[in-house]
């Protein structure tokens, strides 16, 4: 099996090494022998540190995807273009494609799945979401007959690292971010991670597979973690929760809700134990109950492992003369965030004087938002009250917040975070 | 797709319901429509509570597997015979088979995989190990190119429930077992669960898939949990560990080690958070790093979900004219337990008098077993010392125990448990 590799950064280089190391084992177990036969890169002068002869490198990516000697194409260059054009060309030439490109799939996934089906070849992308964790294959195959109701993921390692540091060491958001940048976990411009864009792209891909209907990145409601404070984390801990950036997709009737936001997770929930830069995806279904898949969400070697698994699968299917396509998908009906029903955490800074709580409670009650627990910290002139509500509608909660902001005794409405359970 | 079902207990009945409920969704997403067309049972008079007409039931299982109208066979009757003969016959008739039968696969798996390959049809068995958790498919496909080094599982829900009760509520082993029996988690004769036989069968199947080499139930070294005391659990907790019944398969050179035993798991390890009757399988590989798959290990609906996923996969492959076989496997070379290298926990009851510890430490030292930490509880005439060792050879540890038993000041050697880490 002659592999054409588009891109040779961390993942591509790690894949070339892995293919070389595992060649004999894989040949013995699958009957397929893999050879990285062509590698498209932008700059031929960079030493990639891979066990490949210089002559396999080329700057002509279009030639790789049209080369009749190439049996299967791996795209690890990232970005929308030229990746999209190259993948379409490869599929059109009857070559199965393995990609790790979440940006592309979160926008053009359904189009590409449909092209792959028409071409009768595989388009596999386990590595695009949560790196080494097998999640795409279980969603496509293991849960093909499962009435999946909700999928929740910690799918961004950078933000999970930051929140773990803030929680475990009491670090401020800024200090934790700086540490993540120092370790290379966060970019100099961390926006894509900390504002939830990266997680949003991933949950769009997950939702598409889990519910068999097209969900794109723009469908996803996004809130990042830059507003989460150490006060919030301490208050949440006091109430028995940790705070995680969750990407959530759920089925509400014939609509799909998709969102990314910081979330209070009960300490006894399996997602609460997912720390540092680890990722996990938690699947709930009527029959299967609860399943969680946990592992490394990024890194060259772990991601290359997922790519290699797909490569073996695609090559095997190709040798047997067919793919296992996702097929054509209808566009999902997206449930607006206003229709969300969840529990909420809310921090209010108030004047500590008689009657304040009664006034606050009246506002909650007027909007049918029911309080499950409250705690007051501080005394004297100024106090902070934290609330956990029972499940309420997002639109009712937002109306509650508007009215609370208008109360004289409320100095400020602090963080408002959604909470699991309730 | 006409399904022939062998057995209609919890799993079979739940599968019939799930196939009925999900028929339209699955047809829309896969193009395949499933119908349970024939069900072999022992007793036709039992009401199975399934949405199937009476005429599909038969007591003639052999007729089901030879019926030319049956496209795919699901075996959920359990036990070695007649399940084995029926599966061989179904494969011989060119029908793909889905089975949840761990006893059978742990003994005759390699033979059946080979027969399936010769017949060119699928033999799938996701439900045979850890119920609803996708573990067989990831091992077969996602990790096909991964240098897996170790797989560790909590794969018996009964024992995990008992250990969780002992740990969380300080219940004695006998009380926790009685509660498990009252809830239907444990059989009246709990031997298969508590002595590790069930977990042993599962780790044999896992090891076979993870390392691509035949491992059978008899290869597995077994120690159950009936000797674990609340004292051990408290001492372990004090040292930062919980106690879990782990089933472990690891690669040592060209040998495979397979064993089931109670194990001290550090509290910050993901397996430590797997409680009650939940299962999890933790996979370690050179490239993938650490992956954990978590969920319900048993129960009719969760197990039926796994069977249905396999059924859709097998039927799709069959419609496309091929299976995805495991192939013929060589017999594994099994590493004897004496060659194990691990850390140990050890409790000694000793006379509390000067020089005792020096004598004990000298015995450890003579066998090159190095002590990482020790704690003494109790004072006066009698004391209990608990040790955690650095990694040592099993044979050296056993020799140490023999010699410790011969010391006058050692009243008794209490529990000896293996520990992760070190």
Q: What is the pLDDT of residues A197-208, one digit of tens each?
A: 999 999 999 999
Determine contact: B125 vs chain A, CB below 8 A: no
Please indicate, yes or no, whether residues A124 and A19 belong to a single structural domain of this protein. yes
Place of tokens 């177990």: A29
Q: In angstroms, rounded to a whole number, what is the distance separating the alpha carbons of residues A135 and A131?
A: 9
Mutate to test the interface with A, among B15, B142, B302 (most CBs of A within 10 A): B142
Average pLDDT of the segment spanning A312-334: 83
Structure tokens at A69: 């000697």
Helices and strands of chain B, counted as H and E runs: 14, 17
pLDDT band at B171 (very low <50, low <70, confident <90, very high): very high
Q: In angstroms, rounded to a whole number, what is the distance separating the alpha carbons of residues B106 and B125?
A: 11
Q: Which residues in chain B touch residue A285, judged by CB atoms under 8 angstroms apart?
A: 305
Entry pTM: 0.93
The answer as to whether A329 is a domain residue is no
The pLDDT, as a whole number, for residue A144 is: 87
Closest residue on chain B to A298 (Cα): B288
Q: In angstroms, rounded to a whole number, what is the distance separating the alpha carbons of residues B392 and B394?
A: 6
Contact state of B304 with A287 under an 8 Å Cβ cutoff:
yes
Closest residue on chain A to B268 (Cα): A273
Kindly tell me the sign of the dihedral angle through the C-alpha atoms of B352, B353, B355, B360: negative
Q: In angstroms, rounded to a whole number, what is the distance separating the alpha carbons of residues A182 and B225?
A: 46
Determine contact: A322 vs chain B, CB below 8 A: yes
Mutate to test the interface with B, among A120, A142, A281 (most CBs of B within 10 A): A142
Say which DSSP state B141 is in.
Answer: I
Determine contact: B152 vs chain A, CB below 8 A: no
Our measurement of the distance from residue A223's CA atom to the centroid of its chain's CA atoms, rounded to an integer in Å, reads 13
Closest residue on chain A to B117 (Cα): A30
Q: Which residues in chain B touch residue A324, judged by CB atoms under 8 angstroms apart?
A: 316
pLDDT band at A323 (very low <50, low <70, confident <90, very high): low
Determine contact: A18 vs chain B, CB below 8 A: yes
Q: Which of B95, B102, B165, B202 is catalytic?
A: B202
Structure tokens at A297: 């969400």
Q: In angstroms, rounded to a whole number, what is the distance separating the alpha carbons of residues B400 and B367?
A: 6
pLDDT in tens, B1-57: 999 999 999 999 999 999 999 999 999 888 899 999 999 999 999 999 999 999 999
The answer as to whether B140 is a domain residue is no
Structure tokens at A257: 């809700």
CATH of the domain at B150: 3.30.360.10
Q: Which of A18, A10, A360 is nearest to B145 (CA)?
A: A18
Q: Mark which residues 211-230 of A lie under 8 Å from B by CB.
A: 212
| Range of the structural domain that residue A33 is part of | 2-132+300-319
Contact state of A22 with B145 under an 8 Å Cβ cutoff:
yes
Distance from CA of A415 to the nearest CA of B (A): 29
Q: Which of A132, A285, A304 sits opposite B291 (nearest CB)?
A: A132
Q: Report the share of chain A in percent with pLDDT over 70.
A: 99
Distance from CA of B66 to the nearest CA of A (A): 26
The answer as to whether A206 is a domain residue is yes
pLDDT in tens, A134-148: 999 999 888 988 999
**Helix B157-169 vs helix B230-238: crossing angle, to nearest 10:** 70
Q: Are A298 and A278 in contact (CB under 8 A)?
A: no
pLDDT, greater one: B86 or B186 = B86
Contact state of A25 with B137 under an 8 Å Cβ cutoff:
no
Q: In angstroms, rounded to a whole number, what is the distance separating the alpha carbons of residues B73 and B305?
A: 16
CATH of the domain at A381: 3.30.70.260
The three-state secondary structure class of B138 is helix
Q: In angstroms, rounded to a whole number, what is the distance separating the alpha carbons of residues B335 and A262?
A: 47
For this structure, is B202 an active site residue? yes
Place of tokens 């996934």: A109
Dihedral pair phi/psi, residue A267, rounded to 5°: -60, -25
What b/e string do you get for B404-416 counting C-beta neighbours within 10 Å, with b at 16 or more? beebebbeebbbb
Contact state of B302 with A308 under an 8 Å Cβ cutoff:
no
Please indicate, yes or no, whether residues B168 and B104 belong to a single structural domain of this protein. no
Please indicate, yes or no, whether residues A172 and A200 belong to a single structural domain of this protein. yes
Q: Are A369 and A392 in contact (CB under 8 A)?
A: yes
Q: Is A327 a residue whose pLDDT tops 80?
A: no
Q: In angstroms, rounded to a whole number, what is the distance separating the alpha carbons of residues A14 and A21?
A: 10
Contact state of B309 with A141 under an 8 Å Cβ cutoff:
yes
Average pLDDT, chain A: 93
Q: Are A275 and A160 in contact (CB under 8 A)?
A: yes
The pLDDT, as a whole number, for residue B363 is: 95
Distance from CA of A288 to the nearest CA of B (A): 4
CATH of the domain at A47: 3.40.50.720
Last residue of a domain, one of A269, A286, A319: A319
Structure tokens at A215: 């969900």
* Residue B299 vs residues A223, A391, B245: alpha-carbon distances, Å: 38, 29, 20
Q: Is B150 exposed, middle or buried (0-12, 13-18, 19+ CB in 10 A)?
A: middle
* Residue A293 vs residues A398, B30, B295, B420: alpha-carbon distances, Å: 34, 24, 9, 21
The pLDDT, as a whole number, for residue A352 is: 82
The pLDDT, as a whole number, for residue A375 is: 87
Closest residue on chain A to B147 (Cα): A22
Any bridge partners for residue B349, and if so which? B384, B412
Last residue of a domain, one of A285, A319, A353: A319
Which residues contact residue A408 at a Cβ distance below 8 angstroms, ignoring those fewer than 6 apart? A351
Distance from CA of B281 to the nearest CA of A (A): 10
Dihedral pair phi/psi, residue B243, rounded to 5°: -110, 125
Dihedral pair phi/psi, residue B154, rounded to 5°: -100, 95
Average pLDDT of the segment spanning B394-402: 96
pLDDT in tens, A73-93: 999 999 999 999 999 999 999
Listed ranges A28-32, A379-383, A411-415, B270-274; the one with the highest mean pLDDT: B270-274
Closest residue on chain B to A11 (Cα): B287
pLDDT band at B285 (very low <50, low <70, confident <90, very high): very high
The answer as to whether B333 is a domain residue is no
The pLDDT, as a whole number, for residue B422 is: 63
Contact state of B301 with A312 under an 8 Å Cβ cutoff:
no
Structure tokens at B326: 């495991």
Q: Which of B14, B270, B324 sits opposite A316 (nearest CB)?
A: B324
Please indicate, yes or no, whether residues B80 and B102 belong to a single structural domain of this protein. yes
Q: Mark which residues 62-121 of B lie under 8 Å from A by CB.
A: none
Other CB atoms within 10 A of residue B230 CB = 16
Please indicate, yes or no, whether residues B42 and B106 belong to a single structural domain of this protein. yes
Helix H or strand E encompassing B4 = strand B2-6
Determine contact: B290 vs chain A, CB below 8 A: yes
Q: Is B43 exposed, middle or buried (0-12, 13-18, 19+ CB in 10 A)?
A: exposed
Contact state of B309 with A29 under an 8 Å Cβ cutoff:
no
Determine contact: A358 vs chain B, CB below 8 A: no
DSSP B37-59: EEEE-S-TTS----S--GGGEES
First CA to last CA across chain B, in angstroms?
53
Distance from CA of A144 to the nearest CA of B (A): 5
Determine contact: A27 vs chain B, CB below 8 A: no
The three-state secondary structure class of A262 is strand
Q: Is the ipTM of this complex over 0.85?
A: yes
Q: Which of B204, B223, B225 is nearest to B213 (CA)?
A: B204
Q: Which of B293, B305, B313 sits opposite A293 (nearest CB)?
A: B293
Closest residue on chain A to B280 (Cα): A292
Q: Which of B243, B218, B221, B239 is nearest to B230 (CA)?
A: B243
The pLDDT, as a whole number, for residue B335 is: 96
Q: Mark which residues 324-343 of A lie under 8 Å from B by CB.
A: 324, 327
What b/e string do you get for A7-41 counting C-beta neighbours within 10 Å, with b at 16 or more? bbeebbbbbbbbbeebeeebeebbebebebbbbbb
Q: In angstroms, rounded to a whole number, what is the distance separating the alpha carbons of residues B76 and B3?
A: 13
Please indicate, yes or no, whether residues A234 and A342 belong to a single structural domain of this protein. no
Q: Mark which residues 34-53 of A lie under 8 Å from B by CB.
A: none
The answer as to whether A324 is a domain residue is no
Contact state of B292 with A295 under an 8 Å Cβ cutoff:
yes
Q: Which of A134, A143, A292 sits opposite B294 (nearest CB)?
A: A292
Any bridge partners for residue B294, and if so which? A292, B280
The answer as to whether B325 is a domain residue is no
Determine contact: B371 vs chain A, CB below 8 A: no
Determine contact: B285 vs chain A, CB below 8 A: yes
pLDDT in tens, B84-121: 999 999 999 999 999 999 999 999 999 999 999 999 89
Q: In angstroms, rounded to a whole number, what is the distance separating the alpha carbons of residues B37 and A316?
A: 32
Give me the sheet containing B72-75, strands edge to edge. Answer: B57-58, B35-40, B2-6, B72-75, B97-99, B123-124
Dihedral pair phi/psi, residue B203, rounded to 5°: -70, -25
Other CB atoms within 10 A of residue A419 CB = 22
Please indicate, yes or no, whether residues A161 and A278 belong to a single structural domain of this protein. yes
Determine contact: A289 vs chain B, CB below 8 A: yes
* Residue A124 vs residues A117, A186, A270, A310: alpha-carbon distances, Å: 12, 27, 28, 6
pLDDT, greater one: A214 or B421 = A214
pLDDT, greater one: A311 or B144 = A311
Q: Which residues in chain A touch residue B141, judged by CB atoms under 8 angstroms apart?
A: 137, 309, 312-313
Q: In angstroms, rounded to a whole number, what is the distance separating the alpha carbons of residues A84 and B231?
A: 61
Q: Is A103 a residue whose pLDDT tops 70?
A: yes
Contact state of B287 with A301 under an 8 Å Cβ cutoff:
yes
The answer as to whether A47 is a domain residue is yes
The answer as to whether A326 is a domain residue is no
Dihedral pair phi/psi, residue A390, rounded to 5°: -70, 180
Q: In angstroms, rounded to a whole number, what is the distance separating the alpha carbons of residues A272 and A295?
A: 14
Other CB atoms within 10 A of residue B279 CB = 26
pLDDT band at B379 (very low <50, low <70, confident <90, very high): confident
Q: Which residues in chain A touch residue B19, judged by CB atoms under 8 angstroms apart?
A: 145
Q: Are A219 and A106 in contact (CB under 8 A)?
A: no
Contact state of A324 with B309 under an 8 Å Cβ cutoff:
no
Q: Is B104 exposed, middle or buried (0-12, 13-18, 19+ CB in 10 A)?
A: buried
Please indicate, yes or no, whether residues A55 and A170 belong to a single structural domain of this protein. no
Which residues contact residue A111 at a Cβ distance below 8 angstroms, ignoring those fewer than 6 apart? none
* Residue A63 vs residues A38, A54, A93, A105, A168: alpha-carbon distances, Å: 10, 17, 12, 23, 51
Distance from CA of A73 to the nearest CA of B (A): 17
Q: Which residues in chain A touch residue B142, judged by CB atoms under 8 angstroms apart?
A: 126, 134, 137, 306, 309
Q: Are B288 and A294 in contact (CB under 8 A)?
A: no
Please indicate, yes or no, whether residues A159 and A113 belong to a single structural domain of this protein. no
The pLDDT, as a whole number, for residue A318 is: 81
Q: Is B38 exposed, middle or buried (0-12, 13-18, 19+ CB in 10 A)?
A: buried
DSSP B71-121: -EEEE-S-SSTTHHHHHHHHHHTT--EEE--HHHHHHHHHHHHHHHHHHT-
Q: Considering its fold, how many domains does chain B have in total?
A: 3
Last residue of a domain, one of B249, B284, B319: B319
Please indicate, yes or no, whether residues B171 and B123 belong to a single structural domain of this protein. no
Distance from CA of B146 to the nearest CA of A (A): 6
pLDDT in tens, B332-376: 999 999 999 999 999 999 988 888 888 999 999 999 999 999 888
Mutate to test the interface with A, among B25, B124, B274, B287 (most CBs of A within 10 A): B287
* Residue B22 vs residues A145, A283, B27: alpha-carbon distances, Å: 7, 18, 8
Q: Which of A138, A295, A309 sits opposite B289 (nearest CB)?
A: A295
Please indicate, yes or no, whether residues B285 and B308 belong to a single structural domain of this protein. no
Q: In angstroms, rounded to a whole number, what is the distance separating the alpha carbons of residues A189 and A182?
A: 13
pLDDT band at B323 (very low <50, low <70, confident <90, very high): low
Please indicate, yes or no, whether residues B389 and B414 belong to a single structural domain of this protein. yes
Q: Which residues in chain A touch residue B312, judged by CB atoms under 8 angstroms apart?
A: 141, 144-145
């Amino acid at each position: 099996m002659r592999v054409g590799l588009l891109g040779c950064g961390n993942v591509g280089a790690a894949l070339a090494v892995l293919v070389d190391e595992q060649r004999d084992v894989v040949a013995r177990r699958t009957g397929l022998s893999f050879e990285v036969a062509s590698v498209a890169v932008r700059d031929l002068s960079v030493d990639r540190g891979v066990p490949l002869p210089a002559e396999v490198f080329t700057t002509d990516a279009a030639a790789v995807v049209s080369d009749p000697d190439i049996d299967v194409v791996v795209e690890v260059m990232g970005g929308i273009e030229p990746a999209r054009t190259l993948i379409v060309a490869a599929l059109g030439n009857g070559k199965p494609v393995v990609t790790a490109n979440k940006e592309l799939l979160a926008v053009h996934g359904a189009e590409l799945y449909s092209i792959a089906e028409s071409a009768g070849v595989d388009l596999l992308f386990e590595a695009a979401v949560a790196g080494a964790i097998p999640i795409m294959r279980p969603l496509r195959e293991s849960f093909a007959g499962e009435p999946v109701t909700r999928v929740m993921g910690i799918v961004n390692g950078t933000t999970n690292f930051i929140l773990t540091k803030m929680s475990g060491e009491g670090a401020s958001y800024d200090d934790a971010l700086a540490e993540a940048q120092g370790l290379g976990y966060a970019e100099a411009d961390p926006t894509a991670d900390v504002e939830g864009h990266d997680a949003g792209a991933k949950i769009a891909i997950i939702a598409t597979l889990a519910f068999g209907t097209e969900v794109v990145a723009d469908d996803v409601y996004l809130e990042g973690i830059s507003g989460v404070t150490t006060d919030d984390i301490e208050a949440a801990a006091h109430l028995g929760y940790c705070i995680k950036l969750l990407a959530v997709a759920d089925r509400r009737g014939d609509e799909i809700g998709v969102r990314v936001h910081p979330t209070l997770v009960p300490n006894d929930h399996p997602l609460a134990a997912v720390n540092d830069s680890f990722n996990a995806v938690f699947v709930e279904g009527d029959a299967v109950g609860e399943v969680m898949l946990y592992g490394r969400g990024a890194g060259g070697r772990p991601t290359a492992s997922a790519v290699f698994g797909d490569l073996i699968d695609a090559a095997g299917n190709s040798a047997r003369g067919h793919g296992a396509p996702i097929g054509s998908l209808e566009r999902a009906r997206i449930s607006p965030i206003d229709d969300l029903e969840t529990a909420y955490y809310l921090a209010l800074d108030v004047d500590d004087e008689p009657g304040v709580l009664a006034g606050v409670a009246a506002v909650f009650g007027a909007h049918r938002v029911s309080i499950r627990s409250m705690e007051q910290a501080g005394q004297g002139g100024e106090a902070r009250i934290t609330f956990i509500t029972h499940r309420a509608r997002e639109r009712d909660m937002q109306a509650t917040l508007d009215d609370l902001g208008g109360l004289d005794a409320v100095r400020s409405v602090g963080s408002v975070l959604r909470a699991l359970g309730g």
